[in-house]
């Protein structure tokens, strides 16, 4: 198996804020080492006075169970705070993980959350 370049492995998080919403754009690999950084960013945003947080996973190369747990925790906190949380830009590999773990139905099962694959709702 060929190793990926280090730049593909490291997590970078870009945050774009507007009046009442935030777009969170992680890129790279989200794993046990990097998911705490994503968690800290999401929790800080969800504690604010924001009505919607969108997490665009287009540039995420892979995730592990800690990333799934981080997003599930963010969903729980978003619901408790009446904040809309959307995941978007899931490529096939990520979409399969979310389907396998049951998170697709959790996100799409409420009126205030949604998973989108590319520009299509799942």
Give me the pLDDT at residue 122, please. 39
Task: Give pTM, 2 decimals.
Answer: 0.83
**Distance separating alpha carbons of residues 3 and 79, to the nearest angstrom:** 39
Give me the pLDDT at residue 2, please. 46
- 3-state SS class at 22: strand
C-alpha triplet 120, 121, 122: angle, nearest 5°: 115
Give me the pLDDT at residue 117, please. 60
pLDDT (tens, 9 = 90+) of the chain, 122 residues, equals 444 444 446 899 999 999 889 999 999 999 999 999 999 999 999 998 889 999 999 999 999 999 999 999 999 999 999 999 989 998 889 989 988 988 887 776 554 455 666 544 43
CA distances 122 to 63, 86, 98, Å, are 19, 11, 11
Give me the pLDDT at residue 121, please. 40
> What does the CA dihedral 112, 70, 76, 46 come to, rounded to 10 degrees?
-70
Q: Is the dihedral of CA 61, 67, 72, 74 positive or negative?
A: negative
Q: Which structure tokens are listed for 49?
A: 């006075």
Question: Domains of the chain, with CATH numbers?
Answer: 10-121 (3.30.750.24)
Could you tell me which of 57, 25, 42 has the C-alpha nearest to residue 122?
57
């Amino acid at each position: 198996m060929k190793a990926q370049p280090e730049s593909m492995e490291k997590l970078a998080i870009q945050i774009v804020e507007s009046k009442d919403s935030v777009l969170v754009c992680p890129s790279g690999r989200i794993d046990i080492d990097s998911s705490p950084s994503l968690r800290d960013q999401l929790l800080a945003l969800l504690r604010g006075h924001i009505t919607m947080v969108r997490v665009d996973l287009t540039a995420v190369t892979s995730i592990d169970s800690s990333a799934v747990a981080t997003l599930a925790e963010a969903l729980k906190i978003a619901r408790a705070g009446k904040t809309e949380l959307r995941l978007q830009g899931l490529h096939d590999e990520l979409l399969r993980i979310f389907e396998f773990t049951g998170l697709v139905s959790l996100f799409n099962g409420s009126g205030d959350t949604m998973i989108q694959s590319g520009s299509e709702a799942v």
